[in-house]
Amino acid sequence: MIQSQDRSYYIGASDTSMVVGNWNTKTFDNWWLEKLGLYKNNFSSEATKAGNNYEHKILIALNIPNLKLDTQIIIDRLRVNLDGDTEDCIYEVKTYKKGKEFKVSKQYWRQAQVEMYAKKVNKLFIVAYALEENDYQNYFNEIDLKRIQLIPIEYDEEFIENEYLPKLNILTECLKKGIFPCKQQQK
């Protein structure tokens, strides 16, 4: 669990959908203002608080040899925070409300791709954990191993090379200059 919530001046793996998405929206403009350090998004919810508070406990409960927590990788203006990793594998924790089906969203898949790119590994598991109602009020509950799903994600080099990196490079240069990207640059 990375302590600093400042998301300015760097592009993270969780920003991947913004990088490859539509740059012609108010959502993109607000996100870019945050990257430039001109806007603060203070979004917080019970779900995000619970997920952040359970993240380490979930990973520790897996009892993975040589597991490191909270590795940060910086490549120019790309800053990737890994929940947990070993030498050859990444573990990305996602919590969700018990009773709902967990699905790997396009956003989670894209984030996983960039995490694997940054660490230079081809192995990542999304660690999905179903939170019960009491888990949102009490962050000291024991981890129930039966509620953990390990979902493998395959690395997609084509997505990284052809879709992600060209757009990341444009945004990196704009971030260094402190300017908005030209809308036509996205194409």
pLDDT tens-digit series, residues 5-30: 577 899 999 999 999 999 999 999 99
Q: What percent of the chain has pLDDT over 70?
A: 95
pLDDT at residue 72 is higher than 50: yes
Predicted TM-score of the model (pTM): 0.93
CB-based contact 28:22 (threshold 8 Å)? yes
pLDDT at 2: 43
**pLDDT value at residue 1:** 47
> Does the structure show a pLDDT above 70 at 58?
yes
The larger pLDDT score, comparing residue 79 to residue 45, is at: 79
pLDDT tens digits for 142-152?
Answer: 999 999 999 99
Q: What's the pLDDT at 39? A: 78
pLDDT band of 45, cuts 50, 70, 90: confident
State the chain's mean pLDDT as an integer: 93
Q: Which region among 3-12, 91-100, 108-117, 119-128 has the lowest average model confidence (pLDDT)?
A: 3-12
Strand 90-97, strand 123-131: pairing: parallel
Closest CA to 69 of 88, 52, 55, 53: 55
Q: Is 70 left (phi over 0), alpha (psi -120 to 50) or beta?
A: left
Give the rounded percent of residues in the chain with a pLDDT score beyond 90: 87
Write down the residue that tokens 């009892």 correspond to.
63
Please state which of the ranges 6-15, 36-45, 171-180 shows the lowest mean pLDDT: 36-45
